[in-house]
A and B are shown apart, each in its own frame.
Chain A
Amino acid sequence: MDANRAVDMAVPFAGLTFQNPVAVASGTFGFGREYGQYFDLGRLGAVCVKGLTLRPRAGNPPPRVAETPMGMLNSVGLQNPGAEAFLRDELPFLRGFDTLVVANVSGDTVEEYAALAGLLSDGGVDMLEVNISCPNVKAGGLLFGTDPRSAAAVTEAVKRRARVPVMVKLTPNVTDIAEMARAVESAGADALSLINTLVGMRIDVHTRRPVLYRGTGGLSGPAIRPVAVRCVYQAARAVRLPIMGMGGIACAEDAVEFLLAGAHTVAVGTALFRDETAPLSILEGLTSYCQENGISDIRTLTGALLE
Protein backbone atom coordinates (compact mmCIF):
# COMPACT_ATOMS: atom_id res chain seq x y z
CA MET A 1 0.00 0.00 0.00
CA ASP A 2 1.10 3.55 -0.60
CA ALA A 3 1.44 4.76 2.96
CA ASN A 4 1.42 8.42 1.96
CA ARG A 5 -1.66 8.33 -0.19
CA ALA A 6 -4.16 11.02 0.70
CA VAL A 7 -7.18 9.85 2.64
CA ASP A 8 -10.51 11.62 2.24
CA MET A 9 -11.48 12.34 5.83
CA ALA A 10 -14.59 14.44 5.16
CA VAL A 11 -17.88 12.96 6.33
CA PRO A 12 -21.36 14.09 5.32
CA PHE A 13 -23.50 14.08 8.45
CA ALA A 14 -27.17 15.04 8.74
CA GLY A 15 -26.90 17.49 5.85
CA LEU A 16 -23.64 19.03 7.12
CA THR A 17 -20.08 18.18 6.21
CA PHE A 18 -17.61 17.30 8.93
CA GLN A 19 -14.13 18.08 7.61
CA ASN A 20 -13.06 14.99 9.56
CA PRO A 21 -14.96 12.59 11.82
CA VAL A 22 -13.36 13.66 15.12
CA ALA A 23 -15.45 15.86 17.41
CA VAL A 24 -15.17 16.66 21.11
CA ALA A 25 -17.88 15.56 23.54
CA SER A 26 -20.22 17.92 25.32
CA GLY A 27 -19.28 18.90 28.85
CA THR A 28 -15.67 17.84 28.56
CA PHE A 29 -14.57 20.78 26.42
CA GLY A 30 -16.35 23.81 27.92
CA PHE A 31 -16.89 26.31 25.11
CA GLY A 32 -13.51 25.59 23.59
CA ARG A 33 -11.45 28.38 25.10
CA GLU A 34 -9.44 26.28 27.54
CA TYR A 35 -8.27 23.50 25.25
CA GLY A 36 -8.01 26.09 22.48
CA GLN A 37 -4.76 27.11 24.15
CA TYR A 38 -3.35 23.65 23.51
CA PHE A 39 -4.35 23.09 19.89
CA ASP A 40 -6.07 24.70 16.91
CA LEU A 41 -9.83 24.15 17.26
CA GLY A 42 -10.01 24.40 13.47
CA ARG A 43 -8.60 20.89 13.27
CA LEU A 44 -11.72 19.39 14.82
CA GLY A 45 -14.66 18.01 12.88
CA ALA A 46 -17.01 19.60 15.40
CA VAL A 47 -17.17 21.04 18.89
CA CYS A 48 -20.11 19.89 21.03
CA VAL A 49 -20.33 22.61 23.64
CA LYS A 50 -21.14 22.27 27.33
CA GLY A 51 -24.82 21.44 27.92
CA LEU A 52 -26.98 24.56 27.75
CA THR A 53 -30.24 25.37 29.49
CA LEU A 54 -32.61 28.33 29.06
CA ARG A 55 -31.64 29.94 32.34
CA PRO A 56 -28.17 29.87 33.90
CA ARG A 57 -27.57 26.91 36.21
CA ALA A 58 -25.21 26.76 39.18
CA GLY A 59 -24.76 22.99 39.06
CA ASN A 60 -24.24 20.61 41.96
CA PRO A 61 -22.13 21.19 45.08
CA PRO A 62 -18.72 19.47 45.20
CA PRO A 63 -17.31 16.86 45.21
CA ARG A 64 -18.34 16.50 41.59
CA VAL A 65 -15.79 13.95 40.43
CA ALA A 66 -14.53 10.55 41.54
CA GLU A 67 -12.00 8.33 39.86
CA THR A 68 -12.92 4.72 39.09
CA PRO A 69 -10.97 1.88 37.44
CA MET A 70 -10.21 3.32 33.97
CA GLY A 71 -13.04 5.77 34.30
CA MET A 72 -14.53 8.57 36.30
CA LEU A 73 -17.85 9.60 37.76
CA ASN A 74 -19.01 13.18 37.37
CA SER A 75 -21.94 15.05 38.78
CA VAL A 76 -21.42 18.54 37.42
CA GLY A 77 -25.18 19.02 37.16
CA LEU A 78 -25.30 21.06 33.95
CA GLN A 79 -23.60 24.15 35.33
CA ASN A 80 -23.80 26.66 32.47
CA PRO A 81 -24.35 30.38 31.89
CA GLY A 82 -27.59 29.88 29.93
CA ALA A 83 -28.20 29.81 26.16
CA GLU A 84 -28.33 33.60 25.72
CA ALA A 85 -25.02 34.17 27.46
CA PHE A 86 -23.54 31.39 25.32
CA LEU A 87 -24.68 33.10 22.12
CA ARG A 88 -23.41 36.47 23.29
CA ASP A 89 -20.13 35.55 25.01
CA GLU A 90 -18.96 32.23 23.63
CA LEU A 91 -20.28 31.50 20.14
CA PRO A 92 -18.40 34.42 18.47
CA PHE A 93 -15.13 32.96 19.78
CA LEU A 94 -15.92 29.48 18.42
CA ARG A 95 -16.97 31.00 15.10
CA GLY A 96 -13.38 32.14 14.67
CA PHE A 97 -12.40 28.56 13.88
CA ASP A 98 -13.07 26.35 10.91
CA THR A 99 -15.15 23.79 12.76
CA LEU A 100 -18.83 22.99 13.24
CA VAL A 101 -20.47 24.19 16.45
CA VAL A 102 -22.98 21.81 18.00
CA ALA A 103 -25.14 23.21 20.79
CA ASN A 104 -25.98 20.61 23.43
CA VAL A 105 -29.32 21.42 25.07
CA SER A 106 -31.22 20.26 28.15
CA GLY A 107 -34.59 21.25 29.53
CA ASP A 108 -36.91 20.42 32.39
CA THR A 109 -39.93 20.42 30.07
CA VAL A 110 -40.66 19.75 26.41
CA GLU A 111 -41.41 23.48 25.99
CA GLU A 112 -37.96 24.41 27.30
CA TYR A 113 -36.28 22.11 24.80
CA ALA A 114 -38.34 23.68 22.02
CA ALA A 115 -37.53 27.22 23.13
CA LEU A 116 -33.82 26.38 23.24
CA ALA A 117 -34.01 24.95 19.74
CA GLY A 118 -35.50 28.18 18.42
CA LEU A 119 -33.12 30.46 20.26
CA LEU A 120 -29.97 28.56 19.33
CA SER A 121 -30.81 27.95 15.68
CA ASP A 122 -31.53 31.64 15.28
CA GLY A 123 -28.30 32.33 17.11
CA GLY A 124 -26.31 30.57 14.41
CA VAL A 125 -25.13 27.21 15.69
CA ASP A 126 -24.64 24.47 13.08
CA MET A 127 -26.46 21.65 14.80
CA LEU A 128 -28.40 20.87 17.96
CA GLU A 129 -27.56 17.94 20.20
CA VAL A 130 -30.58 17.18 22.34
CA ASN A 131 -29.46 15.82 25.68
CA ILE A 132 -32.26 13.63 26.93
CA SER A 133 -29.76 11.59 28.85
CA CYS A 134 -28.14 13.62 31.62
CA PRO A 135 -28.01 11.54 34.81
CA ASN A 136 -27.02 14.46 37.03
CA VAL A 137 -30.11 16.62 37.32
CA LYS A 138 -33.39 16.01 39.08
CA ALA A 139 -35.99 17.03 36.52
CA GLY A 140 -35.99 16.19 32.83
CA GLY A 141 -32.66 14.82 31.64
CA LEU A 142 -32.56 11.10 31.94
CA LEU A 143 -36.35 10.86 32.39
CA PHE A 144 -36.93 11.90 28.80
CA GLY A 145 -34.23 9.56 27.60
CA THR A 146 -35.54 6.37 29.17
CA ASP A 147 -39.11 6.50 27.89
CA PRO A 148 -39.57 6.18 24.10
CA ARG A 149 -42.73 8.33 24.07
CA SER A 150 -41.14 11.17 26.02
CA ALA A 151 -38.02 10.96 23.85
CA ALA A 152 -40.18 11.19 20.74
CA ALA A 153 -42.14 14.11 22.18
CA VAL A 154 -38.97 16.09 22.91
CA THR A 155 -37.59 15.28 19.46
CA GLU A 156 -40.78 16.41 17.71
CA ALA A 157 -40.97 19.63 19.67
CA VAL A 158 -37.33 20.44 18.96
CA LYS A 159 -37.69 19.60 15.26
CA ARG A 160 -40.64 21.99 14.93
CA ARG A 161 -38.55 24.91 16.17
CA ALA A 162 -35.09 24.00 14.90
CA ARG A 163 -33.73 25.46 11.69
CA VAL A 164 -30.58 23.33 11.85
CA PRO A 165 -30.13 19.55 11.97
CA VAL A 166 -31.16 17.87 15.19
CA MET A 167 -29.04 15.14 16.76
CA VAL A 168 -30.55 13.33 19.73
CA LYS A 169 -28.19 12.06 22.43
CA LEU A 170 -29.18 8.72 23.87
CA THR A 171 -28.43 7.23 27.25
CA PRO A 172 -27.14 3.69 27.76
CA ASN A 173 -29.24 3.50 30.94
CA VAL A 174 -32.10 1.72 29.13
CA THR A 175 -33.03 -1.88 28.52
CA ASP A 176 -33.36 -1.54 24.75
CA ILE A 177 -31.35 1.18 23.03
CA ALA A 178 -32.68 0.14 19.61
CA GLU A 179 -36.21 0.98 20.72
CA MET A 180 -35.09 4.46 21.81
CA ALA A 181 -33.25 4.97 18.51
CA ARG A 182 -36.35 4.01 16.53
CA ALA A 183 -38.55 6.29 18.64
CA VAL A 184 -36.48 9.39 17.94
CA GLU A 185 -36.00 8.45 14.28
CA SER A 186 -39.78 8.27 13.80
CA ALA A 187 -40.10 11.60 15.60
CA GLY A 188 -37.90 13.22 12.94
CA ALA A 189 -34.38 13.27 14.41
CA ASP A 190 -31.64 13.90 11.84
CA ALA A 191 -28.89 12.08 13.72
CA LEU A 192 -28.07 10.23 16.93
CA SER A 193 -25.23 10.66 19.35
CA LEU A 194 -24.43 7.99 21.86
CA ILE A 195 -23.59 7.25 24.50
CA ASN A 196 -24.00 9.58 27.42
CA THR A 197 -22.62 8.44 30.77
CA LEU A 198 -23.74 5.37 32.71
CA VAL A 199 -25.18 6.00 36.17
CA GLY A 200 -22.67 4.89 38.79
CA MET A 201 -21.73 5.36 42.41
CA ARG A 202 -18.69 5.22 44.67
CA ILE A 203 -18.65 4.91 48.44
CA ASP A 204 -15.87 5.98 50.80
CA VAL A 205 -15.54 2.96 53.09
CA HIS A 206 -13.90 4.99 55.84
CA THR A 207 -16.59 7.62 56.15
CA ARG A 208 -19.35 5.30 54.80
CA ARG A 209 -20.53 8.20 52.68
CA PRO A 210 -20.88 8.49 48.91
CA VAL A 211 -17.79 10.09 47.35
CA LEU A 212 -19.91 12.45 45.26
CA TYR A 213 -22.05 15.07 46.99
CA ARG A 214 -25.09 13.94 45.04
CA GLY A 215 -24.46 10.25 45.64
CA THR A 216 -24.58 9.01 42.07
CA GLY A 217 -22.83 10.35 38.99
CA GLY A 218 -22.19 9.62 35.34
CA LEU A 219 -19.48 7.12 34.47
CA SER A 220 -17.26 7.95 31.49
CA GLY A 221 -13.85 6.98 30.14
CA PRO A 222 -12.34 3.73 28.80
CA ALA A 223 -14.33 1.71 31.37
CA ILE A 224 -17.53 2.31 29.39
CA ARG A 225 -16.16 1.78 25.88
CA PRO A 226 -17.43 -1.78 25.32
CA VAL A 227 -20.90 -0.70 26.41
CA ALA A 228 -20.73 2.27 24.06
CA VAL A 229 -19.58 0.19 21.09
CA ARG A 230 -22.42 -2.25 21.73
CA CYS A 231 -24.96 0.59 21.89
CA VAL A 232 -23.71 2.10 18.62
CA TYR A 233 -23.81 -1.33 17.00
CA GLN A 234 -27.40 -1.96 18.11
CA ALA A 235 -28.62 1.53 17.21
CA ALA A 236 -26.94 1.42 13.80
CA ARG A 237 -28.81 -1.78 12.96
CA ALA A 238 -32.12 -0.34 14.14
CA VAL A 239 -32.18 2.99 12.28
CA ARG A 240 -30.86 4.70 9.16
CA LEU A 241 -29.75 7.85 10.95
CA PRO A 242 -26.10 8.90 10.99
CA ILE A 243 -24.48 8.31 14.37
CA MET A 244 -21.86 10.18 16.38
CA GLY A 245 -20.28 7.54 18.62
CA MET A 246 -18.57 8.24 21.92
CA GLY A 247 -17.67 6.67 25.22
CA GLY A 248 -14.11 6.05 26.32
CA ILE A 249 -12.36 6.81 23.03
CA ALA A 250 -8.70 7.39 23.84
CA CYS A 251 -6.83 6.37 20.67
CA ALA A 252 -7.39 5.90 16.95
CA GLU A 253 -8.07 2.16 17.27
CA ASP A 254 -10.86 2.95 19.73
CA ALA A 255 -12.37 5.33 17.20
CA VAL A 256 -12.14 2.70 14.45
CA GLU A 257 -14.13 0.30 16.64
CA PHE A 258 -16.97 2.83 16.75
CA LEU A 259 -16.85 3.40 12.99
CA LEU A 260 -16.92 -0.33 12.28
CA ALA A 261 -19.86 -0.69 14.68
CA GLY A 262 -21.76 1.84 12.57
CA ALA A 263 -20.80 5.34 13.71
CA HIS A 264 -20.15 8.02 11.06
CA THR A 265 -18.32 10.38 13.38
CA VAL A 266 -16.86 10.07 16.87
CA ALA A 267 -16.47 12.34 19.87
CA VAL A 268 -13.62 12.42 22.36
CA GLY A 269 -14.41 13.36 25.96
CA THR A 270 -12.76 12.06 29.10
CA ALA A 271 -9.55 11.20 27.22
CA LEU A 272 -8.84 14.95 27.07
CA PHE A 273 -8.36 15.05 30.83
CA ARG A 274 -5.40 12.77 30.49
CA ASP A 275 -4.07 14.02 27.15
CA GLU A 276 -5.05 17.55 26.20
CA THR A 277 -4.31 16.94 22.53
CA ALA A 278 -6.00 13.51 22.32
CA PRO A 279 -8.41 14.53 19.50
CA LEU A 280 -5.46 15.42 17.27
CA SER A 281 -3.56 12.20 17.91
CA ILE A 282 -6.76 10.29 17.24
CA LEU A 283 -7.28 12.17 13.98
CA GLU A 284 -3.70 11.52 12.90
CA GLY A 285 -3.97 7.88 13.97
CA LEU A 286 -7.16 7.46 11.95
CA THR A 287 -5.44 8.79 8.87
CA SER A 288 -2.52 6.39 9.34
CA TYR A 289 -4.91 3.50 9.94
CA CYS A 290 -6.58 4.24 6.62
CA GLN A 291 -3.25 4.56 4.79
CA GLU A 292 -1.94 1.32 6.24
CA ASN A 293 -5.13 -0.51 5.31
CA GLY A 294 -5.45 0.92 1.82
CA ILE A 295 -8.55 2.92 2.64
CA SER A 296 -8.90 6.10 0.61
CA ASP A 297 -12.17 7.31 2.07
CA ILE A 298 -12.85 7.16 5.81
CA ARG A 299 -16.57 6.77 5.14
CA THR A 300 -16.05 3.22 3.92
CA LEU A 301 -15.22 2.16 7.48
CA THR A 302 -18.68 2.99 8.78
CA GLY A 303 -20.56 -0.21 9.51
CA ALA A 304 -17.82 -2.26 7.80
CA LEU A 305 -17.84 -4.82 10.57
CA LEU A 306 -17.40 -8.35 9.22
CA GLU A 307 -19.85 -10.77 10.72
Chain B
Amino acid sequence: MTVTVLSNENPRPGAADLRVRVDASAQRPRAGQFAHIACGDALLLRRPISLCDCDEEAGVWRFVFEYKGPGTRYLAARKPGDTLDLLGPLGRGFTCEPEGPPTLLAGGGIGVPPLLLAARRLTGAAHAVLGFRAAPLAVLTDELASLCARTAFCSDDGSLGTREFTDAVVRRLLAETAYARVLACGPRPMLRAVAEAARAAGVPCEVSLEERMACGVGACLACACRVGREAGETFRRVCLDGPVFDAETVVW
Protein backbone atom coordinates (compact mmCIF):
# COMPACT_ATOMS: atom_id res chain seq x y z
CA MET B 1 0.00 0.00 0.00
CA THR B 2 1.08 3.58 -0.56
CA VAL B 3 1.50 5.57 2.63
CA THR B 4 2.29 9.24 3.17
CA VAL B 5 5.07 10.43 5.44
CA LEU B 6 3.68 12.59 8.25
CA SER B 7 6.89 13.24 10.11
CA ASN B 8 10.45 11.99 10.20
CA GLU B 9 12.56 12.93 13.18
CA ASN B 10 15.96 12.21 14.63
CA PRO B 11 15.51 10.92 18.17
CA ARG B 12 19.31 10.67 18.31
CA PRO B 13 22.16 10.73 15.78
CA GLY B 14 22.00 7.68 13.51
CA ALA B 15 18.37 6.86 14.15
CA ALA B 16 15.05 7.93 12.66
CA ASP B 17 11.52 8.11 14.00
CA LEU B 18 9.16 7.88 11.03
CA ARG B 19 5.40 8.31 11.12
CA VAL B 20 3.23 7.50 8.11
CA ARG B 21 -0.50 7.78 7.33
CA VAL B 22 -1.99 4.44 6.25
CA ASP B 23 -5.29 3.65 4.47
CA ALA B 24 -8.38 3.20 6.56
CA SER B 25 -8.42 -0.37 5.22
CA ALA B 26 -5.02 -1.18 6.75
CA GLN B 27 -5.03 -4.14 9.11
CA ARG B 28 -4.54 -3.51 12.80
CA PRO B 29 -0.92 -4.45 13.51
CA ARG B 30 0.03 -6.74 16.36
CA ALA B 31 3.15 -5.97 18.36
CA GLY B 32 6.13 -7.74 16.79
CA GLN B 33 4.77 -7.56 13.26
CA PHE B 34 6.73 -5.68 10.64
CA ALA B 35 6.28 -3.74 7.42
CA HIS B 36 8.30 -4.54 4.31
CA ILE B 37 9.20 -1.14 2.90
CA ALA B 38 10.44 -0.30 -0.60
CA CYS B 39 13.42 2.06 -0.48
CA GLY B 40 13.37 3.94 -3.76
CA ASP B 41 13.89 2.84 -7.35
CA ALA B 42 17.61 2.14 -6.97
CA LEU B 43 17.19 -0.65 -4.43
CA LEU B 44 15.54 -3.87 -5.54
CA LEU B 45 14.59 -5.38 -2.20
CA ARG B 46 12.24 -4.01 0.41
CA ARG B 47 13.52 -3.56 3.99
CA PRO B 48 11.76 -5.13 6.99
CA ILE B 49 11.11 -2.70 9.87
CA SER B 50 9.07 -3.52 12.97
CA LEU B 51 5.93 -1.61 13.80
CA CYS B 52 7.01 0.52 16.73
CA ASP B 53 3.66 2.08 17.46
CA CYS B 54 0.30 2.70 15.87
CA ASP B 55 -2.70 4.94 16.31
CA GLU B 56 -5.67 3.14 14.78
CA GLU B 57 -8.05 6.09 15.03
CA ALA B 58 -5.73 8.48 13.23
CA GLY B 59 -4.40 5.79 10.85
CA VAL B 60 -0.79 6.39 11.83
CA TRP B 61 2.00 3.83 11.92
CA ARG B 62 5.37 4.55 13.44
CA PHE B 63 8.82 3.09 12.84
CA VAL B 64 12.03 3.72 14.77
CA PHE B 65 15.19 2.49 13.11
CA GLU B 66 18.93 2.87 12.90
CA TYR B 67 20.73 3.85 9.72
CA LYS B 68 22.68 0.83 8.60
CA GLY B 69 23.07 1.15 4.85
CA PRO B 70 21.40 2.59 1.74
CA GLY B 71 17.89 1.34 2.55
CA THR B 72 17.56 2.78 6.01
CA ARG B 73 19.33 5.96 4.89
CA TYR B 74 16.79 6.36 2.10
CA LEU B 75 13.95 5.99 4.60
CA ALA B 76 15.58 8.42 7.01
CA ALA B 77 15.75 11.05 4.26
CA ARG B 78 11.99 11.02 3.50
CA LYS B 79 10.19 14.30 4.15
CA PRO B 80 6.61 14.95 5.27
CA GLY B 81 4.33 14.59 2.23
CA ASP B 82 6.58 12.02 0.50
CA THR B 83 5.00 8.66 -0.21
CA LEU B 84 6.35 5.21 0.54
CA ASP B 85 5.32 1.80 -0.71
CA LEU B 86 5.00 -0.75 2.05
CA LEU B 87 3.59 -4.21 2.57
CA GLY B 88 2.17 -5.07 5.94
CA PRO B 89 1.57 -5.68 8.71
CA LEU B 90 3.40 -8.96 8.13
CA GLY B 91 4.42 -11.94 10.20
CA ARG B 92 3.54 -13.44 13.54
CA GLY B 93 3.59 -11.04 16.48
CA PHE B 94 4.07 -11.26 20.23
CA THR B 95 1.43 -12.70 22.55
CA CYS B 96 0.04 -9.72 24.43
CA GLU B 97 -2.43 -10.60 27.22
CA PRO B 98 -3.28 -7.65 29.44
CA GLU B 99 -5.21 -9.89 31.90
CA GLY B 100 -3.48 -11.99 34.54
CA PRO B 101 0.14 -11.72 35.66
CA PRO B 102 2.34 -9.02 34.09
CA THR B 103 4.51 -9.58 31.02
CA LEU B 104 8.22 -8.81 31.05
CA LEU B 105 9.57 -6.97 28.00
CA ALA B 106 13.28 -7.33 27.33
CA GLY B 107 14.80 -5.07 24.68
CA GLY B 108 18.35 -4.59 23.52
CA GLY B 109 19.49 -1.63 21.40
CA ILE B 110 17.50 -1.14 18.22
CA GLY B 111 15.42 -4.18 19.25
CA VAL B 112 13.49 -1.92 21.60
CA PRO B 113 11.01 -0.31 19.10
CA PRO B 114 8.55 -3.23 18.75
CA LEU B 115 8.30 -3.44 22.53
CA LEU B 116 6.63 -0.03 22.60
CA LEU B 117 3.65 -1.41 20.70
CA ALA B 118 3.72 -4.48 22.96
CA ALA B 119 3.57 -2.24 26.02
CA ARG B 120 0.63 -0.37 24.48
CA ARG B 121 -1.24 -3.60 23.73
CA LEU B 122 -0.56 -4.82 27.26
CA THR B 123 -2.20 -1.64 28.62
CA GLY B 124 0.02 -1.19 31.64
CA ALA B 125 0.37 -4.90 32.48
CA ALA B 126 4.04 -4.83 31.46
CA HIS B 127 7.42 -4.40 33.05
CA ALA B 128 10.41 -3.63 30.85
CA VAL B 129 14.16 -4.12 30.89
CA LEU B 130 15.90 -1.98 28.30
CA GLY B 131 19.59 -2.37 27.60
CA PHE B 132 21.81 -0.21 25.39
CA ARG B 133 25.52 -0.07 24.68
CA ALA B 134 25.61 3.46 26.07
CA ALA B 135 23.23 6.29 27.03
CA PRO B 136 23.60 8.24 23.74
CA LEU B 137 22.31 5.17 21.85
CA ALA B 138 19.12 4.86 23.86
CA VAL B 139 15.73 5.22 22.15
CA LEU B 140 12.14 5.36 23.38
CA THR B 141 13.12 5.17 27.06
CA ASP B 142 10.67 7.80 28.34
CA GLU B 143 7.76 6.47 26.32
CA LEU B 144 8.30 2.90 27.46
CA ALA B 145 8.68 4.04 31.05
CA SER B 146 5.34 5.83 30.83
CA LEU B 147 3.54 2.78 29.38
CA CYS B 148 5.04 0.16 31.74
CA ALA B 149 4.31 -0.38 35.45
CA ARG B 150 8.01 -0.82 36.05
CA THR B 151 11.08 -0.11 33.88
CA ALA B 152 14.73 -0.96 34.45
CA PHE B 153 17.63 0.32 32.36
CA CYS B 154 21.09 -1.04 31.88
CA SER B 155 24.07 -0.34 29.63
CA ASP B 156 27.41 -1.85 28.76
CA ASP B 157 29.31 1.15 30.11
CA GLY B 158 27.05 2.18 32.96
CA SER B 159 26.12 5.50 31.32
CA LEU B 160 22.41 4.55 31.52
CA GLY B 161 20.96 2.59 34.44
CA THR B 162 23.06 -0.20 35.86
CA ARG B 163 26.24 -1.46 34.22
CA GLU B 164 25.28 -5.00 33.23
CA PHE B 165 23.73 -6.99 30.42
CA THR B 166 19.97 -7.14 29.86
CA ASP B 167 19.72 -10.84 30.75
CA ALA B 168 21.22 -10.21 34.22
CA VAL B 169 18.45 -7.73 34.99
CA VAL B 170 15.88 -10.09 33.49
CA ARG B 171 17.14 -12.87 35.77
CA ARG B 172 16.70 -10.66 38.86
CA LEU B 173 13.19 -9.53 37.91
CA LEU B 174 12.14 -13.10 37.14
CA ALA B 175 13.19 -14.06 40.68
CA GLU B 176 11.08 -11.25 42.20
CA THR B 177 7.87 -11.38 40.17
CA ALA B 178 5.72 -14.15 38.70
CA TYR B 179 5.51 -13.10 35.03
CA ALA B 180 3.13 -14.57 32.46
CA ARG B 181 5.88 -14.51 29.84
CA VAL B 182 8.97 -12.75 28.59
CA LEU B 183 8.91 -10.97 25.20
CA ALA B 184 12.36 -10.20 23.84
CA CYS B 185 13.82 -8.33 20.89
CA GLY B 186 17.45 -7.43 20.36
CA PRO B 187 20.76 -8.84 19.18
CA ARG B 188 20.97 -12.62 18.98
CA PRO B 189 23.40 -13.19 21.89
CA MET B 190 21.10 -11.15 24.11
CA LEU B 191 18.03 -13.09 22.97
CA ARG B 192 19.75 -16.35 23.68
CA ALA B 193 20.81 -15.24 27.17
CA VAL B 194 17.32 -13.90 27.96
CA ALA B 195 15.76 -17.13 26.68
CA GLU B 196 18.05 -19.11 28.99
CA ALA B 197 17.11 -16.94 31.95
CA ALA B 198 13.39 -17.44 31.22
CA ARG B 199 13.86 -21.16 30.79
CA ALA B 200 15.70 -21.41 34.12
CA ALA B 201 12.79 -19.57 35.77
CA GLY B 202 10.23 -21.76 34.01
CA VAL B 203 8.62 -18.75 32.32
CA PRO B 204 7.55 -18.91 28.64
CA CYS B 205 9.61 -16.68 26.36
CA GLU B 206 9.05 -15.30 22.86
CA VAL B 207 11.89 -13.86 20.82
CA SER B 208 11.85 -11.76 17.65
CA LEU B 209 14.47 -12.94 15.14
CA GLU B 210 16.01 -11.16 12.17
CA GLU B 211 17.06 -12.61 8.85
CA ARG B 212 17.69 -11.19 5.41
CA MET B 213 14.48 -11.24 3.38
CA ALA B 214 13.37 -11.06 -0.21
CA CYS B 215 9.59 -11.51 -0.56
CA GLY B 216 8.63 -10.90 3.08
CA VAL B 217 5.44 -12.93 2.68
CA GLY B 218 6.61 -16.55 2.89
CA ALA B 219 6.97 -17.44 -0.78
CA CYS B 220 10.70 -17.43 -1.53
CA LEU B 221 12.29 -19.16 1.49
CA ALA B 222 15.14 -16.63 1.63
CA CYS B 223 14.68 -15.83 5.32
CA ALA B 224 15.28 -19.28 6.78
CA CYS B 225 16.15 -19.74 10.42
CA ARG B 226 16.62 -22.96 12.37
CA VAL B 227 13.57 -23.61 14.49
CA GLY B 228 11.84 -26.71 15.80
CA ARG B 229 14.10 -28.56 18.21
CA GLU B 230 11.48 -31.11 19.19
CA ALA B 231 10.05 -31.87 15.77
CA GLY B 232 13.49 -32.36 14.23
CA GLU B 233 15.43 -29.34 13.10
CA THR B 234 13.87 -27.54 10.16
CA PHE B 235 14.18 -24.18 8.55
CA ARG B 236 11.28 -21.88 9.23
CA ARG B 237 10.53 -18.56 7.58
CA VAL B 238 11.29 -15.51 9.71
CA CYS B 239 8.84 -13.44 7.62
CA LEU B 240 5.77 -15.66 7.93
CA ASP B 241 6.36 -18.24 10.68
CA GLY B 242 8.07 -15.43 12.68
CA PRO B 243 9.64 -12.99 13.25
CA VAL B 244 8.40 -13.88 16.74
CA PHE B 245 9.11 -17.47 17.77
CA ASP B 246 8.68 -19.47 20.94
CA ALA B 247 12.24 -19.30 22.35
CA GLU B 248 12.13 -23.01 23.24
CA THR B 249 11.95 -23.97 19.58
CA VAL B 250 14.83 -21.81 18.34
CA VAL B 251 18.09 -23.58 17.52
CA TRP B 252 20.63 -20.97 18.67
Contacts and interface: CB of A to CB of B under 8 A. Distances in A.
A301 B46 CA distance: 33
A70 B235 CA distance: 28
A273 interface: yes
Contacts of B219: 28-30, 34-35, 272
A74 B215 CA distance: 12
A274 to B, nearest CB: 6
Residue in A34, A61, A63, A71 whose Cβ sees the most chain B Cβ within 10 Å:
A34
Given A58-B234, A273-B45, A65 B217 contact: no
A72 interface: yes
A59 interface: yes
A221 B87 CA distance: 20
A226 interface: no
Contact of B222 (A37, A50, A68, A74): A74
Interface string B215-239: 1111111111110000001110000
Interface in A61-77: 61-68, 70-72, 74, 76
A30 B44 contact: no
Interface in B180-236: 211-226, 233-235
Contacts of A65: 45, 212-214, 220, 222-223
A179 interface: no
A30 B219 CA distance: 4
Contacts of B44: 67-68, 70-72, 221-222, 270, 273-274
B43 A62 contact: no
Scoring B43, B211, B213, B235 by chain A CB atoms within 10 A of each residue's CB, the highest score goes to: B235
A31 B87 CA distance: 20
Interface in A256-307: 270, 272-274, 276
Interface residues of A, number: 34
Contacts of B38: 274
B240 interface: yes
A79 interface: yes
A59 B216 contact: no
Contact of A62 (B45, B87, B223): B223
Nearest to B71: A67
Contacts of A79: 221, 224, 235
A29 B43 CA distance: 21
A27 interface: yes
Contact of A74 (B220, B234, B235): B220
B140 to A, nearest CB: 28
Nearest to B38: A274
A254 to B, nearest CB: 14
A65 B224 CA distance: 10
A60 B214 CA distance: 15
Nearest to B233: A58
A27 B221 CA distance: 8
30 contacts: A28-B215, A28-B219, A29-B219, A33-B218, A34-B215, A34-B218, A35-B217, A50-B221, A58-B235, A62-B223, A63-B212, A65-B45, A65-B212, A65-B213, A65-B222, A66-B212, A70-B44, A72-B44, A74-B220, A76-B220, A76-B221, A76-B222, A76-B224, A79-B224, A222-B44, A270-B214, A272-B215, A273-B216, A274-B44, A276-B87
Interface of B: 38, 43-46, 87, 211-226, 233-235, 240
